Structure 1
Amino acid sequence: MVVTRELADELPTEEVEAAKARAATLLLAFRHGNQLAFDTELDLLLAENAEREVTTLLVWVAAEAVRKAYAPDVADRVLRGLARRAPYGTAEVAVDEEAAGAALLLEAVAAGDVTAVRALVAGTPDTTYLLGGLVQAVAMMLPLLPEGEADEIAAELRRRHAGRLPTPRCTT
């Protein structure tokens, strides 16, 4: 049995269902070019200040559609392409490998600059390359650790994730 609890700022289930219906109305009107229905529903939402909830649901619907329509690597390429094709000045989303600042992230962490870390993460919607660069940096640092330190870190990670990690194989 799965137990869920409502967070303080979370919408009640009834409101989520109502918001889903409103998001579906917006999507149908947009898809079929019914500008009048789209504008009417959008005006109602703006008057009720429900923009955040409906935007979240629209993004969820879009993510589900992309997930069902494309293989994961293809879906990422499609979304990156959409971001790149946005008119200049409206999006300017950095989604390529060169824009992922793993070195900047490491420097900000080393300097204890929480604001810079948050800005880098928030400014990188496509974290694939950022996290990949971070993993590469950690791998490059491992040989610099004192003897036995990597084994202690691995043991601590195994303790934290007991039962979820495979046991190491003996290589002797």
Structure 2
Amino acid sequence: MMATGELADELSEELPREEVEAAKARAATLLLAFRHGNQVAFDTELDRLLAEHVEREVATLLVWIAAEAVRKAYAPEVADRVLRGLARRAPHDTAQVPVDEEAAGAALLLEAVAAGDVAEVRTLVAGTPDTTYLLGGLVQAVAMMLPLLPEGEAEEIAAELRRRHAGRLPMPRGTY
């Protein structure tokens, strides 16, 4: 395994500091989208990187990040075994980001909110590795409930949100 310091030095020699920082930001965007199972964000960022032909620098930075994580988590004599194990378990199809839908208990969150159980809401949110799916499930639940509101309630809620976010939301259709 190449020492992470050597890898970082090699990258720094190839790119000016500003470009290294920009590449780190691009790599972080990819990693966050992958970690949170956000396929759309992952694909969008990857397409942008491929269009800009910066895939080599981002791949180098992703390897550097992985090597740093292994270096910090494992003793030197164990690190290579960990990396070999990761390589053996790597999926054959790498086009999809991993999503943990089972851990995203939107129904549990909705029930905890309805019961006013603040501690349970905090526990559910803190214990969910993929909050993207948890919040997405909550948005879906709210959308399913909207038709059940008494007439005019949805409009009042929208008007209140517009007041709170004045100037930041587009005007509703038909009011131009």
Q: TM-score, normalised by structure 1?
A: 0.50
Higher relative contact order (CA 8 A, sep 6+): 2
Bigger helix fraction:
2
Q: TM-score, normalised by structure 2?
A: 0.49
